[in-house]
Amino acid sequence: MNAQFLAPDDPKWSDPETARFAVVPCPYEKTTSYMKGTENGPAKIIEASDQVEFFDSELGTQPAERGIYTLPACDYSKGTVSDWLNSTEQVFSDLFARKKFPLMLGGEHTISFPPIKAATKHHDISILHFDAHSDMRDTYHGDKYSHASVMRRVHEVVKHTYSVGIRAQCKEEREYLNANKSFGVLYDHERAKEGLSVERALKFLPTKKIYVTIDLDYYSPEVMPSVGTPVPGGGQWYETLHFLRGIFERREVIGADIVELRPDHDKRSDFLAAQLAYKLIAYATLGR
Ligand SMILES: [Mn+2]
């Protein structure tokens, strides 16, 4: 298996010194509650990236020429939750300090917290969050670092967030959201009726810089079946890309992650995740 995302064939496209983009595999899985297997997500996305074209047919450019290198996968085999979160945060803090654009591949959603926390130490950011679930329980099964609590932890370090595609939440999460006006939500029934509006999203993303976290269960299970907790409804490929491009054109996206792929026999999910990863890289080159 190739260890590099996209495996650029020209070595100067994957030189860690000059590359603009750093892909970080984070195969973290400690609290998944339904179907397990997200720890295999990063390797499968990298494997599928072999089939992604360097040329972007929408932009008419080869974003890979800006340089993409892949770090060794973070190691979660030994240690404690706080060791894993701290060591992961350090990896991203170093990348932000070196002015790289990090793209994290998960892993369960908990592992979005370390890169976001690292980002807040280098940039004033708002978070654009795609997910079927709010992930805003204060704790889940007594665990503060459960996948179901990750956005609650994010709210301890970031003031403004906008969540898209939400269609599964508990009463506590709704009350918490209603009481906090700086956390915007586009519920999935609203997306289905009114579509994704860049203008509406930007009202909740007031900072110049944005970090994007994408839990793949945001997507419709028809296009993204291989997730731990699929929920009916959800976004489609192009409507989401058009929306993302609008955000990238209006704000500076400084980093992103794609989490919760649970690979199975259905390779279309792995490929969607790999193509999405490269689209994020492509959009990040717009105007820069
Ligand atoms: Mn999630």
How many whole angstroms from 109 Cα to the centroid of ligand 1?
5
Distance 132 CA to ligand 1 centre (A): 7
pLDDT at 32: 72
**Smallest Cα–Cα separation from 203: which of 179, 185, 180?**
185
Retrieve residue 49's tokens.
């990236």
Distance between Cα 273 and ligand 1 center (Å)? 15
pLDDT value at 1 more than 70: no
pLDDT-derived band at 79 (thresholds 50, 70, 90) equals very high
Mean pLDDT of 232-256: 98
pLDDT of 10 above 60: yes
Q: Is the pLDDT of residue 119 over 50?
A: yes
Segments making up each domain of the chain, as ranges: 11-284
148 Cα to the center of ligand 1, angstroms: 6
Cα 142 to ligand 1 centre (Å): 17
pLDDT over 50 at 280, yes or no: yes
Task: Measure CA 89 to chain center.
Answer: 15
Report the distance separating Cα 198 and Cα 38, nearest Å: 30
CA of residue 191 to ligand 1 center, whole Å: 18
196 Cα–ligand 1 center, Å: 19
Q: How far is the CA of 102 from the centre of ligand 1 (A)?
A: 19
In the chain, the percentage of residues whose pLDDT exceeds 90 is 93
Ligand 1: centre distance to CA 8 (Å): 30
Average pLDDT over residues 136-156: 93
Degrees, nearest 5: CA angle 254-246-277: 50
CA of 217 to the centre of ligand 1 (A): 7
Ligand 1 centre from 133 Cα, in Å? 6
The CATH architecture assigned to 11-284 reads 3-Layer(aba) Sandwich (3.40)
- Mean pLDDT in the chain? 95
Going from the Cα of 213 to the center of ligand 1, the distance in angstroms, rounded, reads 9
Average pLDDT over residues 23-32: 92
46 C-alpha to center of ligand 1: Å? 21
Q: How far is the CA of 284 from the centre of ligand 1 (A)?
A: 23
Distance of CA 166 from the midpoint of ligand 1 (Å): 10
Mean pLDDT score, 5-27: 93
